[in-house]
Amino acid sequence: MPQAAPAAQPFLSPHPPPPKTPLTPLQAAKRAAAYHAVSDHLLPNHTYVGIGSGSTIVYVVEAISTLPRSLTSHMTFLTTGHQSRALIYDAGLRYTNIDTLPLDGAGAVRMLDVAFDGADEVDAELNVIKGGGACLFQEKLVVVSAKKFVCVADHRKLSPSLLTSFPSIPVEILPLSTQHVLASLRLLGSPSPTLRSGLPAKAGPVITDNAGFIVDAPFPPLLPSQEPSDEGSRHDVATLAKRIKEIVGVVEVGLFFGAQKPAVVYFGMDDGGVMVKTLEKTEQRS
């Protein structure tokens, strides 16, 4: 009778080595979360690994780059924009874009073994806001192409409902549609959607990695339910995401819900510990 292959074991210590330069408590929290996430979810038999964007993902790449090259040389990292590509390049790891990924024999959509990425806000049901750093379209493409989305964040990002602590939903749009999108978002109930400015670094609007613009749309805090529904003027995550996506000119919405949600979120805490949250349970690590 054929033997089942043994389960792959993690191959990185969850405890980071001393940092090369002094870190603020918030940076240390992000770094602790990143090492725990990589230790738990990057496995020796992985081939394709998604890498998101932001300040926390820097520590995910740092954790991966501490591994002996013999353990990662067979891996290809799917990047999500200029920042993550530079991180992977500087770490001496192999990268490619998502459109080069071969389909397997069955034409499977979820070809990546795992995708690591950050978050701007995470609610109790693990719905996520992303795009605070103007990266969301490629992140969503990578997440929906991965068997598992592992989210890495710090303690400020956990909220009972989205738009409690993060002020607005980032929406990537085509430049020509700006006025139409702004007007449509107002009709959906956003009091003051705004085109994100590049100032002071750049005059004019922020230009995304996909040559789009970003509109930031504030709404009242969202209901976390996963099924589309309305409760008075308050939207739930799925309904609002779908309505925004229907606006002509919208490329992608910075709400990750349903099949786009993380399987697990690692929150670096201010006491140096890490909170590991899934839909089923919450665990504290030291």
Ligand X SMILES: O=C[C@H](O)[C@H](O)[C@H](O)COP(=O)(O)O
Between helix 25-41 and helix 57-65 the angle, nearest 10°, is: 60
Tell me the three state secondary structure of residue 268.
Answer: strand
Tell me the three state secondary structure of residue 210.
Answer: coil
Binding of residue 262 to ligand X (CB under 6 A): no
Closer to ligand X by CB, 133 or 193: give it.
Answer: 133
Segment 101 to 160, residues that bind ligand X, using CB under 6 A: 117-120, 130-136, 139
Q: Which of 62, 121, 125, 139 is catalytic?
A: 139
Q: Beta-carbon neighbour count of residue 109 at 10 Å?
A: 11
- Answer for the pair 112, 48: CB distance below 8 angstroms, yes or no: yes
Dist CA 212 CA 137 (whole Å): 10
Residue 43: closest CA among 19, 67, 15, 79:
67
Residue 39: closest CA among 78, 70, 10, 68:
10
Among 14, 16, 50, 52, binds ligand X (CB under 6 A): 52
Smallest separation, CB 132 to ligand X (Å): 3
Binding of residue 209 to ligand X (CB under 6 A): no
**Segment contacting ligand X (CB under 6 A): 17-25, 54-62, 106-114, 227-235?**
54-62
Smallest separation, CB 233 to ligand X (Å): 27
Residue 130: closest CA among 26, 278, 262, 40:
262
Closer to ligand X by CB, 56 or 281: give it.
Answer: 56
- Peptide linkage before 19 cis (omega within 30 of 0): no
Smallest separation, CB 173 to ligand X (Å): 15
Residue 261: closest CA among 154, 179, 149, 174:
149
Closer to ligand X by CB, 139 or 216: give it.
Answer: 139
283 catalytic residue (yes or no): no
Smallest separation, CB 139 to ligand X (Å): 6
Among 12, 27, 42, 56, binds ligand X (CB under 6 A): 56
Smallest separation, CB 265 to ligand X (Å): 12
Binding of residue 16 to ligand X (CB under 6 A): no
With CB atoms as reference, the residue minimizing the distance to ligand X is 54
Residue 10: closest CA among 84, 63, 48, 56:
63
Among 53, 84, 138, 145, binds ligand X (CB under 6 A): 53
Number of chain residues interacting with ligand X (CB under 6 A): 17
| Residue 29 neighbours by CB under 8 Å, 6+ apart | 154, 155, 268, 269, 270, 272
Closer to ligand X by CB, 189 or 263: give it.
Answer: 263
Closer to ligand X by CB, 16 or 118: give it.
Answer: 118
Closer to ligand X by CB, 112 or 134: give it.
Answer: 134
Between helix 82-90 and helix 57-65 the angle, nearest 10°, is: 20
Smallest separation, CB 57 to ligand X (Å): 6
What residues make contact with ligand X under the rule CB under 6 A?
Answer: 52-56, 117-120, 130-136, 139
Q: Which sequence positions are flagged as catalytic?
A: 139
